[in-house]
Amino acid sequence: MAATHDLESTIHTCRLLSDPTRVRLLAVLSVHALSVAELTEATRLPQPRVSTHLRKLREAGLVETSRIAGQSRYRLPAAGWPVAQKPVVEAVLQTTVDPLIAEDARRARAAIAARHKGAWLDGVAGRMARHYSPGRTWEALARTLPGVAKLGRVADIGSGDGAVAEILAPYAQHIVCVDNNPRVVSAGRERLAHLPHLRFLEADMHALPFDSDTHDLVLVLGALQYSASPAAVLREAARILRIGGRVVVSGLRRHVHHAEVQIFGHVNVGFEPEELADLLTDAGLRIEHCAVVAREHRAPHFEVVSATATLESS
């Protein structure tokens, strides 16, 4: 049985909808939530007139406002129209077909499209590195950027199970991953067995099992904090480089958070950029770049030092 309402409620609703502007506003808001400016654009009505009729519709509970992306917008009530008005409002909107209302809807959709065009870019300008957009992830960036260089023969020292080597593999002539943990090496071999030009060796990074002058790129990424003699690791990295080859190193900046790194088995507390640069220079390498490159957002805010150095003569 249909709900019934008293005469006063019905007459009040009919009076509200007796003005064509209010009907047009309700119809266009059924398309999407819109700001006053967008409603003015959609209906081509003066802004004061739009605001006046929106106020009356809001007082009657037929529209409400919400904050969306920092902007106030009008919309149909999330909980639905008041029970007393609902049958009349629905009857009017469902049975009214008019070219003017259709044009309002078309312009409303155009306003929504204009709102979204460039809005995300405008909102993140100057902070893009901190915000996600479809397809723009750190993983995608990491897997794409190696394409800017021909990597030749690569040695990944302290490689773990080959997470970095896997990313570089499409761009390298040959990659060898070196780690002293037999379980990690075994897992890497199994996981990356489909890459014929990538192999794993269980070996000590302080005494690499390679001839001198054999590699174009040596990576020492996050490995030095596991070494009590980082100078020896970097001397070995320089030894196996060809003339013109490059060493890329990263590690934690010197810190005091001993308890936090204990679980990871670190044996040193990192390096200041100047310390890492001195180690590379002492190994016979020329520094191209050495600096703090990242700071973690979460406490204790570990920082990462990165360096690139080349071998100019043996």
Find the mean pLDDT for residues 260-279. 94
Distance (Å, whole) CA 192 – CA 196: 9
Segments forming the whole domain that contains residue 100: 7-125
Look at residue 129 in the predicted model and tell me its pLDDT. Answer: 67
Q: Is residue 133 situated within a structural domain?
A: no
Residues 79, 194: one domain? Answer: no
CB neighbours of 48 closer than 8 A, spacing ≥ 6?
A: none
Look at residue 87 in the predicted model and tell me its pLDDT. Answer: 87
Look at residue 165 in the predicted model and tell me its pLDDT. Answer: 94
User: Residue 62 sits in a domain of what CATH number?
Assistant: 1.10.10.10
Find the mean pLDDT for residues 52-69. 88
Q: Are 255 and 275 in contact (CB under 8 A)?
A: no
CB neighbours of 106 closer than 8 A, spacing ≥ 6?
A: none
Domain edge (last residue) among 71, 99, 125 = 125
Q: Is residue 306 situated within a structural domain?
A: yes
Residues 217, 238: one domain? Answer: yes
CB neighbours of 164 closer than 8 A, spacing ≥ 6?
A: 156, 219, 221
Look at residue 125 in the predicted model and tell me its pLDDT. Answer: 65
CA distances from 171 to 21, 123, 144, 168, 177 (A): 64, 35, 10, 6, 15
| Interval 167-191: pLDDT, tens | 999 999 999 999 999 999 999 999 9
Residues 37, 180: one domain? Answer: no
pTM assigned to the model: 0.64
Residues 246, 146: one domain? Answer: yes
CA distances from 125 to 4, 117, 128, 129, 236 (A): 55, 14, 6, 10, 44
Distance (Å, whole) CA 186 – CA 223: 18
Residues 283, 144: one domain? Answer: yes
Look at residue 126 in the predicted model and tell me its pLDDT. Answer: 67
Domain edge (last residue) among 76, 97, 125 = 125
Residues 73, 192: one domain? Answer: no
User: Residue 278 sits in a domain of what CATH number?
Assistant: 3.40.50.150
- Reply yes or no on whether the pLDDT at 1 is more than 50: no
- Reply yes or no on whether the pLDDT at 205 is more than 60: yes
Residues 99, 156: one domain? Answer: no
Residues 156, 295: one domain? Answer: yes
Residues 185, 287: one domain? Answer: yes
Look at residue 13 in the predicted model and tell me its pLDDT. Answer: 85
Q: Is residue 53 situated within a structural domain?
A: yes
| Interval 83-111: pLDDT, tens | 888 888 888 888 988 999 999 999 888 88
Annotate 87-120 with DSSP letters as a single string: HHHHHHHHH---HHHHHHHHHHHHHHHHHHTTHH
In the numeric block, the tokens 């081509």 are attached to 44
- Reply yes or no on whether the pLDDT at 51 is more than 80: yes
Instruction: Show the tokens assigned to 292.
Output: 């703090």
Residues 160, 272: one domain? Answer: yes
Model confidence band, residue 142 (pLDDT cutoffs 50, 70, 90): confident
Domain edge (last residue) among 100, 125, 150 = 125
Backbone angles phi, psi at 51, to 5 degrees: -60, -40
Q: Are 111 and 38 in contact (CB under 8 A)?
A: yes
| Interval 281-314: pLDDT, tens | 999 999 999 999 999 988 899 999 999 999 987 6
| Interval 238-266: pLDDT, tens | 999 999 999 999 999 999 999 999 899 99
Residues 33, 104: one domain? Answer: yes
